[in-house]
Amino acid sequence: MRTVIIGAGVVGLATAHELLRAGQEVTVLDAGAYGQGPSHGNAALVTSVLSFPVPAPGTIGVAARSIVTGSQAITIRPQFSPSYLGFLLRMARATTKSNFAAGTVAQDILTRMVLDGFAEYADEGLSFEQHTGGSMHTFTTRESFEAGVRVFDDFPEIRSRIRVLEGTEAVHEVDPGLAPEISYAYYAPADLQVEPESLMKALVASITAGGGTLREHTEVLDFATAGGKVSSVVTSEGSFDADQVVIAAGVASRSLAARLGARVPVRSGGGYSVDVHIDDPTRRPRTSVMTDTTHIAITPLDRGLRASSGMIIGQAEPTVSGRVIDGLLRDVRAVYPDAPLDDVRPGWAGLRPMSADGVPIIGLLPGWDNTYVATGHAMLGLTYAPPTAKVLRALMEGTAPEAYAAFSPARFGVRR
Ligand SMILES: Cc1cc2nc3c(=O)[nH]c(=O)nc-3n(C[C@H](O)[C@H](O)[C@H](O)COP(=O)(O)OP(=O)(O)OC[C@H]3O[C@@H](n4cnc5c(N)ncnc54)[C@H](O)[C@@H]3O)c2cc1C
C-alpha cells in the first residue's frame, strides 16, 4: 500500500510513523522544510485534560469585542469573503452549550489516547525532549477561579484528572517560583512538556530508518484521479503515484481538499512564542502555566522557558512585532517575578489550523475512497498528533469504532 502524506508538520510526521508501523509504504511531501509551520514553536504542552474546543460559550462575544478593544484572548481579523463569513457562523453555532458539550466529548476520545501515544514513542526508543511537569491554570480572583472550574461540571470524568488548588501554599507546593499573589489554580499532574522540534526530529529519524521517504521543497499543486480515487499527487517536483493519500497540510488543507471538491473548513489561528534561556535549572518554572487574564502559556524546557500567547483568527501571515513580545515578557514577569528573563531569543509566530466547529477533522474526504484529511487541531496539534495517527490507521484498516465518525469531514456537508 503506497501512501502519500501531504504535509510534514507534527500531524503528517506522526501519521507517517504510524503507517510505517502498519507496514505501509510511506512518502511524506512538504512544500518547505519539515516542521517549520506552527508545529515548530508551539507552547510545547501535551495535555491529558483540555478536551474543550476553542468555540466555547462566550467565545464569539469575547472575539467580537476584541475587534473594538484589541484584547489578546481571541481576535478575529475581518475578511470579506463569503466562505470566511460562513466559517465564522459555523464557529458561532459551535459555541452553544450543547454543541460545546458534544465537541468536548468528541475531543476527549483523542485526549484519552494521548499519554499512551507518547509513552509508546518513548518505549520505541524515539529520543526527544519530554518532561513530566504537569500543567496549571492560574486565576487572579475567586470569581474567575470558580468560573474556570465550573467548566468541568458537565464532565465529571475529565474533572477527575485535575486537582483544585486553593491558597498560596497549595499553589506554591507545585511551583514555588510563582508570584505570591497567585492563590487559585487547577493542576493537571499528568500533563507533559514535549519540545516539538526534538519530537519531529525523532519522528523523521524513525521514518527514514523505517524505510519511509521524506521529500522537502516539494509543493503539492494538484491531484490526478481515476475511478473515484486519487491516483497520483502532482507536485512542483513531478508526480507521485499513490494507493492512498493523507492531506495533513495544516491551514492549506482547505485549498487542497477544495481541489477535490471537498469541504474542509479550516482557517488560521495565529499565535506567537518566545524562548528565554535560563542556565540555572533551579530558576526555571517547574510546571506549564496558563493564566486567566493575560492568556499566556509558560512552559519549562531544557533551554529555560517558552512563553506563548495569541489566537488571531484569520491572520494571513505568521508575524509578531517586538512590541508584542515585550508585552508577553512583561506578563511572564508577573507570573514568575524572580525568573531571570535576560537571555531572550527572537520571537516566533505560527498559524494554527482551526476547524469551524473546533473539533479536529480526521477521515475520508467525502466523495473519495482513498483520500483522507487530518487537520483542524487548533491549539492541540502537538498533543493530538499521536492519537490522530492512530485514528487514521484504524479508519484505513477498517477497525475504527463508530465514535470516530465525530471527526469525519462529512459533518460539514458533502460537496462545495
Ligand atoms: C503559538 C502556538 C502555541 C501552540 N501551543 C500548542 C501546545 O502547547 N500544544 C499543542 O498540542 N498544540 C499547540 N499548538 C498547536 C499546534 O502547533 C498545531 O495544531 C500543529 O502544529 C498543527 O500541525 P499540523 O501538522 O496539522 O500542521 P502544520 O504544522 O501547519 O504542518 C503542515 C505542513 O504542510 C505543509 N504544506 C502546506 N501546503 C502544502 C502543499 N501544497 N504541499 C506540500 N506541503 C504543504 C506545510 O509546509 C507544513 O509543513 C500551538 C500553536 C501555536 C501557533
332 vs 278: CA distance, rounded Å: 14
Q: Check residue 80 and give its pLDDT.
A: 84
- CA 19 – ligand 1 centroid, Å: 19
Residues 6+ apart with CB under 8 A from 173: 165
Task: Decide: helix, strand or coil at residue 15.
Answer: helix
Series of mean pLDDT values for 10-residue runs along the chain (416 residues): 98 98 98 95 96 83 55 78 92 92 97 98 97 96 94 96 97 96 97 98 98 98 95 98 98 98 97 97 97 95 97 94 96 96 96 97 96 97 98 98 98 74
Buried b (16+ CB within 10 A) or exposed e, 68-98: eeeebbbbbeeeeeeebeebbebbbebbeee
> In the numeric block, which cell numbers belong to residue 235?
507536485
Pocket lining: 254 vs ligand 1, CB cutoff 6 Å: no
Q: Write down how long the chain is.
A: 416
Whose grid coordinates read 454543541?
99
> The dihedral of CA 49, 190, 389, 403: what is its sign?
negative
Minimum-distance ligand 1 atom for the alpha carbon of 11? 25
Nearest-5° Cα angle at 43, 220 to 336: 160
380 in contact with ligand 1, CB cutoff 6 A: yes
Based on the number of CB atoms within 10 Å of its own CB, is 61 exposed (0-12), middle (13-18) or buried (19 or more)? Answer: exposed
pLDDT at 106: 97
Q: Note the pLDDT of residue 61.
A: 63
Q: What is the pLDDT of residue 56?
A: 84
Q: From the alpha carbon of 34, which atom of ligand 1 is closest?
A: 49
Rounded distance between C-alpha atoms, residue 206 and residue 216, angstroms: 16
Residue 312 CB-density burial (10 A; 0-12 exposed, 13-18 middle, 19+ buried)? buried
Residue 232 is classified by DSSP as E
Q: How far apart are CA 40 and CA 21, in angstroms?
A: 24
What single string gives the DSSP state of each residue in 271-319?
Answer: EEEEEEE-S-GGGS-SSEEEESSS--EEEEETTEEEEEEEEEET--S--
Sequence-ordered list of residues with C-beta below 8 angstroms from that of 331, at least 6 positions apart, any chain: 291, 294, 296, 307, 309
Determine the atom of ligand 1 nearest the C-alpha atom of 272.
1
pLDDT of residue 72: 58
CA angle 255, 53, 153 (to 5 degrees): 170
Pairing of strands 2-6, 25-29: parallel
Residue 382 CA: which ligand 1 atom is closest?
Answer: 11
The architecture in CATH of the region 2-412 reads: 3-Layer(bba) Sandwich (3.50)
Task: Pick from 218, 377, 383, 391 the residue to mutate for probing ligand 1's pocket: most ligand atoms within 8 Å of its CB.
Answer: 377
Domain boundaries, the chain: 2-412
Alpha-carbon span 229 to 197, nearest angstrom: 34
Query: Exposure pattern of 157-187 as b/e (b: 16+ CB <10 Å)?
Result: ebeebbeebeeeeebbebbebbbeebbbbbb
